[in-house]
């Protein structure tokens, strides 16, 4: 965005002629992110470890796409560093990278195994590191780009049984802030979105328990869980010129959870 020209507010959120890679597009927040980006004119590559799920998202996104932008699907396992590097080389110019893939093992620290620790850290934090190293250099060369990750209320507020997950989300925030500081001079922006409790496959375990579901709902200012679609607006904002001066930030979309200091101690 050129600050010396009059701002076209009518198209502030448009993403025409931009290419967006959405990782984790097969379900949940990733799926809704892909749909929203396509609806705002972006060419979207829907990536997921489950290719069939990615293809379904791409098919739906195509019906929402405006301006004739292409929507495609790709299999990508972000636990495979070589696969990430290959994708970056094959896809070429990418303007926006959104990564939503995450996992959680709900156990207290003393009950964790080393293998479980490695699994959570690898997907939630190491994969983000690999994605930054693969896609940010091209963005820096072109002098523009936006990378968007997802943290959690757990990046700032913890509860028993969420320690390792919380550590990865806090780590992701600091990783993205550092990338913002290092690559800001090259025109690349790095931000994260901090959801509250969202009805996604990752939260199936607690959603299936009526007591947990109700307790979590009551901890937010709005008194309910969110739908994945309620995160999509934040993604479009951070991908677009509407956020051209926003980098190194954590945008909380948590229904006011952190504002009211919500906390729930689950039963052992």
Q: Please give the positions annotated as active site.
A: 165
DSSP secondary structure of 193-225:
EEE-SB-SGGGHHHHTSHHHHHHHHHTSTTSSP
Alpha-carbon distance 22 to 149, whole Å?
A: 10
Q: For residue 6, how many other CB atoms are within 10 A of its CB? A: 6
Long-range pairs for 177-181: beta carbons < 8 A, 24 or more residues apart: 177/248, 179/132, 179/136, 179/147, 180/247, 180/248, 181/248
Q: Determine contact, residues 50/28, Cβ cutoff 8 Å.
A: no
Alpha-carbon distance 217 to 151, whole Å?
A: 19
* C-alpha dihedral (102, 104, 109, 110), degrees to nearest 10: -130
β partners of residue 107: none
Instruction: Please report the sign of the dihedral spanned by the C-alpha atoms of residue 216, residue 219, residue 223, residue 228.
Output: negative
Alpha-carbon distance 155 to 198, whole Å?
A: 15
Instruction: Please report the sign of the dihedral spanned by the C-alpha atoms of residue 76, residue 80, residue 84, residue 90.
Output: negative
């Amino acid at each position: 965005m050129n600050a010396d020209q009059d701002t076209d507010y009518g198209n502030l959120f448009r993403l025409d002629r931009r290419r967006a890679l959405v990782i984790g597009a097969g379900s949940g927040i990733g799926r809704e992110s892909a749909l929203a980006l396509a609806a705002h004119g972006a060419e979207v590559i829907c990536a997921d470890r489950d290719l069939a799920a990615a293809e379904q998202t791409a098919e739906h996104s195509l019906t929402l796409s405006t301006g004739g932008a292409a929507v495609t699907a790709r299999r990508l396992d972000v636990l495979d560093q070589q696969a990430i590097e290959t994708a970056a080389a094959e896809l070429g110019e990418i303007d926006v990278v959104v990564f939503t893939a995450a996992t959680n093992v709900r156990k207290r620290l003393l009950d964790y195994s080393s293998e479980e620790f490695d699994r959570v850290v690898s997907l939630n934090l190491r994969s983000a590191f690999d994605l930054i190293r693969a896609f940010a250099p091209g963005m820096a060369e072109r002098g523009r780009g936006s990378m968007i990750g997802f943290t959690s209320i757990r990046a700032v507020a913890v509860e028993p049984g969420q320690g390792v997950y919380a550590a990865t989300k806090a780590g992701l925030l600091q990783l993205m802030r550092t990338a913002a500081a290092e690559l800001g001079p090259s025109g690349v922006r790095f931000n994260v979105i901090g959801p509250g409790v969202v009805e996604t496959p990752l939260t199936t375990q607690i959603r299936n328990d009526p007591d947990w579901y109700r307790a979590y709902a009551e901890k937010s200012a709005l008194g309910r869980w969110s739908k994945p679609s309620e995160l999509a607006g934040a993604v479009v904002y951070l991908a677009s010129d509407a956020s051209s001066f926003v980098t190194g930030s954590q945008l909380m979309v948590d229904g006011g959870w952190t504002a009211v200091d919500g906390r729930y101690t689950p039963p052992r």
